[in-house]
Amino acid sequence: MSDITSYEVADGIAVITIDNPPVNAMSTAVRKGCWAALEQLAADDSAKAAVLICAGRTFVAGADINEFDKPIEDPWLPALVEKFEASEKLIVAAIHGAALGGGLETAMGCHYRCAAPSARIGLPEVNLGLSPGATGTQRLPRLAGVRKALDMMTSGRPISAGDGQKAGVIEKLIDGDLREGAIAYARELLDAGAPIKRVSKLDVAAEGIDDGFFSEYLQGLARTARGFFAPEQIVECARAAVNESYQDALKTERKLFEKCRASTHSQAQRHLFFAEREVAKIPDVPKATPGREIKKVAVIGAGTMGGGITMNFVNAGVPVTVLEVDQAGLERGLGIIRKNYGSAVKKGRMTEERLEQAMGMIAVTTDYADIADADLVIEAVFETMAIKKEVFTKLDEVCKPGAILASNTSSLDLNEIAAVTKRPQDVIGLHFFAPANVMRLLEIVRGEKTAGDVIATAMATAKKIRKVGVLVGVCFGFVGNRMFFPYVREAQLMMLEGVSPERVDQVAYDWGMAMGPHAVMDLSGLDVFNKLNTEWKDRPDDPVYYRMCMALCEMGRYGQKTGAGIYKYDGRKALPDPEVMEIAKREATILGVKQIEVSDEEIIERMTCSMINEGALILEEGIAIRPGDIDVIFVNGYGLPRYRGGPMKYADAIGLDKVCNAIRKYRARYGDLWWTPAPLLEKLAAEGRTFQEWSESR
């Protein structure tokens, strides 16, 4: 036995306790400790049954992900689960917190399960690009039924202990002290002569479950889990549970788990799992840095973005004062916020009472004096430097000392904005992504003089309002837009070259993007892209650059909001517009752009490699701390599929030499204005290294 796993006997019931903070991950040491405890249980005449329980805030919340790419050390988890089940003495799993992944699989290896009412259970391996691999795909269908098991495994979403009891996974809910209740439950089972229930011996309720059922289920996944590899493998494991013996089905589970584990999808999704946790680590801002207290927030601007930002804070229980230039603007803004909350009420996600409570947390004003006591002020006005300077000059005059002044700018020079104040150390960028009340990403922009405690506060605030906060430096477009512009640049150029926007968008969508580049531009507004490029002071002189966007804007075609942009619109439905390609052909003739044949492979290669090259420059310049930070930005803010891992992980996966060669190929065709390989990319490609290896070696 070890400190991680302990064994004691209470009133004839052995208690096996796992204590492996913070989440009691089923590491090698825990597995060894449990194995030894089961051996002791078998030899202990004083123990008639056992309870498996965990110390700390949770039951086993999964396997140790750090061990996934290492050689297996005995005892491996499937064998341990089978050993729990094979015990000749009755074992009860006592669940609190979360029993997830290998934790739930271990609990299902026990003969009975009890849980605190607040507990949650699930098999979320699909979120890492994996299928459950420690008998879970065979045990859960036997307890909960095939459909419920599939719904849990393919979505990865945990369910409550109460729902787990209804589904048949948990036998008893324990109010009060879980340890005492679990021991009493084990005693109750012994006194009642309850059988040792081995889940592997249970039949799968297969009524109505045939190949037609599985085919239909796969069709549904094609919509809800488009492009992901693991969900289909999970369905095949469930099919095996129905059609094969338990032992044969376990072989299928193991084979498909290994297939998932070796896939580029799982490698990408596991990369993101770690990257999304690592973004919180700022080298020059220690974790212990005390932040500033944020009790009151003010938002400047009641437009769509300002309203969305306001909702984030209200949802987190922080009152907000919204400032606009006139009462009409305030009323429009409040109307949009109420409409958004009303939509949540209609969908059953919010009550009318909660809606009114939320609206009651919003104060409105047209007077800057009313926000003088705000702890955090977020400016969300037009993306024009002159307007933003005017706002920050006023904020500097009225806001209290120590207030954090934040700009929602998506591309402008934060240092120039901060310079109009006498407190540049208190200025930071908080770039929300539209719609701000929905999108998870928050790009946090540090200026040259931004104080460490302001950065620490911004990172903590992102977490409080349930955003993924990523710290970046100052340059045009920061990280996200700076890399997204080349992606869209190539899509725009391809239109001039004779490639229809709907074809480019379909290829991007099939590759995994949530939307194609042209659909994104129409949704955001072509005028917005035009405005951003106008504000780019050092933009290279290239008459072809974004010419189609400019030409359409000159015609008043701004996208969805005007009913026509790159597409024309029937409501929100995008329809190809032959006139756009006529415009493209006309512009191409004027600009001397040749009409060429472009393959689907080239479409993806040009759009992704242009992003990757820009990302390499960003890393060299120190605008992003790590390649993983860039990946987190693009997956959470730009619709890149998680199974690609982000642009930098994707580059590592296909090989930096391949990326570099593609850039050289397009340099030969288009010249070196946009297609000069970044020095870091060339260096790593020549050395046969990856961005990840470069990051880890620094």
Q: What is the pLDDT of residue 187?
A: 97
473: closest CA among 450, 507, 494? 450
Domains contained in the chain, number? 3
Q: What is the pLDDT of residue 206?
A: 81
User: Is 70's pLDDT higher than 80?
Assistant: no
Per-residue pLDDT band for 11 (boundaries 50, 70, 90) equals: confident
Strands 568-570 and 159-160: unpaired
The reply to whether 290 falls in a domain is no
235, 301: one domain: no
CB 434 within 8 A of CB 404: no
Quote the CA–CA distance of 637 and 645 in Å, as a whole number.
Answer: 13
544, 608: one domain: yes
The reply to whether 283 falls in a domain is no
Mean pLDDT to the nearest integer, 66-76 = 82
466, 599: one domain: no
CB 244 within 8 A of CB 255: no
User: Is 650's pLDDT higher than 60?
Assistant: yes
- Domain boundary residue among 240, 262, 284? 262
Environment class of 401 (CB within 10 Å of its CB; exposed 0-12, middle 13-18, buried 19+): exposed
In the three-class reduction of DSSP (H, G, I as helix; E, B as strand; rest coil), residue 99 is classed as strand
Mean pLDDT to the nearest integer, 627-648 = 97
User: Is 579's pLDDT higher than 70?
Assistant: yes
Mean pLDDT to the nearest integer, 476-495 = 96
- Domain boundary residue among 438, 472, 506? 472
507, 418: one domain: no
Mean pLDDT to the nearest integer, 266-276 = 96
- Tens of pLDDT, residue by residue over 107-135, are 999 999 999 999 999 999 999 999 999 99
CATH of the domain at 411: 3.40.50.720
Per-residue pLDDT band for 205 (boundaries 50, 70, 90) equals: confident
Per-residue pLDDT band for 535 (boundaries 50, 70, 90) equals: confident
Strands 441-446 and 468-472: parallel
User: Is 1's pLDDT higher than 60?
Assistant: no
Mean pLDDT to the nearest integer, 34-40 = 97
DSSP per residue, 306-358: HHHHHHHHHHTT--EEEE-SSHHHHHHHHHHHHHHHHHHHHTTSS-HHHHHHH
Tokens 């889940």 identify what position? Answer: 199
- Tens of pLDDT, residue by residue over 170-203, are 999 999 999 999 999 999 999 999 999 999 999 9
User: Is 485's pLDDT higher than 90?
Assistant: yes
Round the average pLDDT of the chain to a whole number and report it: 96
Token couple for 598: 């472009």
Quote the CA–CA distance of 689 and 655 in Å, as a whole number.
Answer: 9
Per-residue pLDDT band for 470 (boundaries 50, 70, 90) equals: very high
Active site residue ranges? 105, 125
The reply to whether 599 falls in a domain is yes
Name residue 283's beta-bridge partners. none
450, 557: one domain: no
Mean pLDDT to the nearest integer, 624-636 = 98
What share of the chain in percent tops pLDDT 90?
93
168, 65: one domain: yes
631: closest CA among 642, 623, 620? 642
Per-residue pLDDT band for 342 (boundaries 50, 70, 90) equals: very high
Q: Amino acid letter at 657?
A: D
514, 445: one domain: no
Token couple for 327: 């009462």
What share of the chain in percent tops pLDDT 70?
100
Q: What is the pLDDT of residue 582?
A: 97
493, 616: one domain: yes
Q: How much is the pTM?
A: 0.94
The reply to whether 289 falls in a domain is no
User: Is 592's pLDDT higher than 90?
Assistant: yes
User: Is 698's pLDDT higher than 90?
Assistant: no
The reply to whether 686 falls in a domain is yes
More confident residue, 67 or 252: 252
Token couple for 630: 């860039």
- Domain boundary residue among 441, 472, 503? 472
Tokens 């040259």 identify what position? Answer: 448
Mean pLDDT to the nearest integer, 595-605 = 97
CATH of the domain at 192: 3.90.226.10
Q: What is the dihedral of CA 77, 159, 174, 349, to 10 degrees?
A: 160
User: Side by side, which strands form the sheet with 13-18?
Assistant: 5-10, 13-18, 49-54, 90-95, 112-115, 172-173
Q: What is the pLDDT of residue 67?
A: 79
Sign of CA dihedral 365, 370, 373, 377: positive
**Domain coverage including residue 364:** 297-472
Q: What is the pLDDT of residue 2?
A: 62
The reply to whether 477 falls in a domain is no
Token couple for 255: 């084979």
175, 217: one domain: yes
User: Is 369's pLDDT higher than 90?
Assistant: yes
The reply to whether 288 falls in a domain is no
491, 453: one domain: no
691, 571: one domain: yes
**Contact partners, residue 446, CB within 8 Å, separation at least 6:** 428, 429, 455, 471, 472, 473, 474
68, 210: one domain: yes
The reply to whether 480 falls in a domain is no
Q: What is the pLDDT of residue 538?
A: 85
User: Is 607's pLDDT higher than 60?
Assistant: yes
